[in-house]
Structure 1
């Protein structure tokens, strides 16, 4: 029997400050014992206070990055992050549709923690048409869920309505993250097609260091799916990880704005599994 690491792929934008995007994804994969790989869709000039500029990677080069990975190291799970052009969405969907056995977690990055919008308006409909049908799970925060559905989510009661709307748009499952409500109890809602919703709650952690939380959670879910966990358990394990990463890094000072999480507060040993 041959031995291998658990390869997990992130298709996302680069964060020059290291707190979000592919940098956060690769840290998360490593912290959870997986082998991280990346396809870069865009580079950003940003820091903890905001996004200065975004530079799109040519679609042909994105395709070549993805084809190179799939040919040599097929991942056990994929996380998708920043997709800010329609042609990029079509490219990713076209290639991943050829590998339906690979679970895909899509974090529809539309608004940065600083409030900067990261996606073009005409891309949203293309995301629904191309990426939603191939995704195992969509992980929007409240702002992103509102952009996707037009539903103003001011209370936790509105989350289920928005989740139903997103599933009707073609998703198999959606995790709506309720942290932006800033209640003392954070409520996340996992809805799967033709199954009862699962409400997950935790105590709100008061901190400025929330840069990259969405990227980290979605990549943690992908890592847990790569380990073979069913979706509800993967989400629960990922939430446990991110709560610890926020808690352990809440009083650290890096930068002048929204600081990063402590991704390596409790690193797992790299997992090695046997292959045929």
Structure 2
């Protein structure tokens, strides 16, 4: 009988187009060789052109999914994606206090790919006060940094300042992603633990198919935390993984296609 692989729980919304959300999470977790589990927070009506509607899952059902998985199967690491509302965030925080989930990655999905706000102000407050203090790592993009801190990041120095402000909200580590810093010829992500900055550089590809990139990165990181890697090693793995996934992105439908972790099926190095 085979031994069960490490187990990662994604607490996220469903993307009917399969490009992002828990579908992207599960695709990435599979490619990284870990067992993916889900606590569904919302069901979206979505395709390559965007989101046209969504229905939230009742908060008590979200919490029950987390507890059902954690108390039976066990969770070696967990991550969040779309959390939809303050009530769901409160339910997630309560469930995390009742069960063990291992390292916890918060991908604060608060802005669309066009920079539009996706969470109400009370939900942003709940992210800051309830989930960030429980997080091993938070992974905001620059639009999410703006919504969470009010800072308009325009340079690498601004990324460091944003990391300091976000770290003061309570997470152990902060990863400020630089994918939206369009004037920079390279893509720099800044990792910070309250005392040391670690810079992770990668190429910037001229591609439009980047749907699900944040989900893919956070899931790849969570897969390595579940294996026992420390945060810098897990983030370095995630950085390499998302660079290759962007390079392998493919068109889908009439709009923006997804990044693709499927490259790893033929290149598991």
TM-score range, shorter chain: over 0.9
**Structure 1 residue aligned with 2:8:** 8
1:64 positional shift: 1.6
Distance 2:267 2:153 in 1: 39
Give the count of matched residue pairs: 267
Q: CA deviation at 1:75?
A: 1.0
Tell me how far 1:101 sits from its aligned partner. 6.4
Aligned to 1:248: 248
Q: Aligned-pair distance for 1:99? A: 4.3
Match status 1:45 vs 2:48: no
Residue 207, structure 1, aligned to residue 207, structure 2: yes
**What does 1:67-146 align with in structure 2 at a 5 Å threshold?**
67-99=67-99, 102-146=102-146
Correspondence for 1:148: 148
Deviations 1:163-182 (A, max 9, x none): 10111111211100000012
CA distance in 2, matches of 1:215, 1:2: 29
More deviation, 178-187/115-124: 115-124
Normalising by structure 2, report the TM-score: 0.94
> How far off its partner does 1:253 sit?
2.2
- Report what 2:188 is aligned to: 187
Gaps of 5+ in 2: none
Distance 1:163 1:100, change over 3 A: farther
Q: 1:257 aligns with which of 255, 258, 267?
A: 255
What secondary structure, in the 3-state scheme, does the structure 1 residue paired with 2:248 have? helix
Residues 170-229 of structure 1, C-alpha deviation per residue, up to 9 Å, x if partnerless? Answer: 121110000001222011000012x31001111101101100000110111100101111
DSSP-derived class of the 1:5 partner: coil
Q: Relative to structure 2, which stretch is displaced further, 154-163 or 91-100?
A: 91-100
Conserved 8 A contact 2:74-2:101: no
Match of 1:33 in 2: 33
Label 1:268 to 1:132 Cα distance change in 2 as closer, same or farther (>3 A): farther
Contact 1:51–1:116 (Cα < 8 Å) also in 2: no
Aligned to 1:165: 165
State the 1:116 CA deviation. Answer: 4.3
**SS of structure 2 residue aligned to 1:261:** coil
How many angstroms apart in 2 are the aligned matches of 1:7 and 1:132? 22
Distance in 1 between residues matched to 2:191 and 2:3, nearest whole Å = 34
Cα offset for 1:84?
2.0
Root mean square deviation of aligned Cα: 1.8
The answer to which structure, 1 or 2, has the higher relative contact order (CA under 8 A, 6+ apart) is: 1
Q: In 1, distance between residues paired with 2:8 and 2:101?
A: 14
Q: Which residue of 2 aligns with 1:274?
A: none
